[in-house]
Amino acid sequence: MLELKGLTRRYGDVVTLDDVSFSVGEGQMFGFVGPNGAGKTTAMRIVLGVLEPNAGEVLWRGRPMDNQARRQAGYMPEERGLYPKMRVRAQLEYLAELHGLDRSAARQSAGHWIDRMGLSERAGDRVEALSLGNQQRVQLAAALVHDPVMLVLDEPFSGLDPVGVDVLAGVLKDKAAAGTPVIFSSHQLDLVERLCEAVAIINKGRLVASGTVAELRSAGRRRRWEVSVAGADAGWAAHLSGARVLDQAAGDANGRILLELDDGTDEQAILDAARRAGRVTYFASSQPTLADLFRQAVQP
């Protein structure tokens, strides 16, 4: 398990990370989300030892993460990091060796990931000669080439076409299935929701929510139902007891409204009330999306 404990980082008077703690289990796919400048990159850099925290620590399998453990981690920085003039194969072999593989193992592993990423025909080209999408694939191969025991990826999906997204998602799922904790940041919340078991939401350097997506959905939230009633008065739901209309559903093209139910309210009673008002054409439980949770978490 990878644990971040009370991580704090200041630049002069600016606090970019303020007492952030969460943990990522082995084999867990973990999404790290937050607005720009929230501190995601700082946290990831600290995990990889690229930055020192002013306070707090990072534990890997219960022990402080040392250089030995870091060398076994795979890291993909936000703004990418490859030598533009170096050839793809040489670059991957070099990075594999830097992470502790011997020469023949490095060569073998570089070959494997070049194939897996569909880069075989470009293996002898300089990185700068590749398209951005292909450079991104090389970057991912660079994070994977030493068979890391944990993956920390900063915005790995940005700039990828849908096919690239699928390839990357597939690789990450495989790694997680093999027991590797995978933590990645992304602004593509639908993707995070689809892939990740657990997420952490960070805002202005502080952790505002973390846990499994299901936990976040249920935590501190009332049940919501969507209802469409044909031929009803516009204000039929205004005086329902035990439920109230949420603004955001008003003006929906289908005349659908979103109701938030009080804790003791039976949704069947609401359905009865709706049927009295007109013909019910739609009645369904509404799950907040991660995007909803995100907006709710980061709005003041």
Partner 1 sequence: MTTLDGIRLVARRELTERTRERSFLISTVVTLVILCGFIVIPKVFFSDRTTTWDVGLVGAGSAPLGRPLETQAPLVGARVRVHRSADVAAAEAALRDGDLDLAIVDGRQLLAESDPDDQLVALVQAASRLARAQTALAEARLSERQIADALAPPPLPVRTLEASDPERRANRAIAFPAVLLLYGQLIGYGYTVAVGVVEEKATRVVEVLLSTIRPVQLLAGKIIGIGLVGLVQLLIIGGIGLAVAVGIDAIDLPPGAFATLGMVLLWFLLGYAFYSVLFAVAGAVVSRQEEVQNTSTPMSLVLVASFLAAISALSNPDGPIATVSSYLPPTAPLVMPVRVAAGAASGWEIVVSVLLTLAAIAVLVPLSARLYSGAVLRSGARVKLSSAWSASRG
Residues of this chain that interact with partner 1 (CB under 8 A) are: 45, 48-52, 67, 70-71, 73, 75, 77-86, 90, 94-95, 97-100, 142
- Provide the residue type at 192 as one letter: V
Residue listed under structure tokens 């002013």: 54
CB nearer to partner 1: pick between 18 and 93: 93
Sign of CA dihedral 172, 174, 176, 181: negative
Q: CB 117 → partner 1: shortest distance, Å?
A: 17
CB nearer to partner 1: pick between 154 and 273: 154
Q: CB 278 → partner 1: shortest distance, Å?
A: 60
CB nearer to partner 1: pick between 79 and 263: 79
Angle at 265 between CA 261 and CA 267, to 5 degrees: 75
CB nearer to partner 1: pick between 29 and 153: 153
CB nearer to partner 1: pick between 102 and 247: 102
- Provide the residue type at 28 as one letter: Q
Q: CB 80 → partner 1: shortest distance, Å?
A: 6
Helix (H) or strand (E) run with residue 133 in it: helix 132-144
User: Residues with Cβ < 8 Å from 133, sequence gap 6 or more?
Assistant: 159, 160, 161, 164
Q: Cα-atom radius of gyration of the chain, to the nearest Å?
A: 24
Phi-psi region of 202 (alpha: psi -120 to 50; beta: other; left: phi over 0): beta
Q: CB 89 → partner 1: shortest distance, Å?
A: 13
Q: CB 247 → partner 1: shortest distance, Å?
A: 41
Q: In what order do the strands lie in the sheet with 257-261?
A: 243-245, 257-261, 224-230, 279-285
CB nearer to partner 1: pick between 95 and 258: 95
Q: CB 154 → partner 1: shortest distance, Å?
A: 9
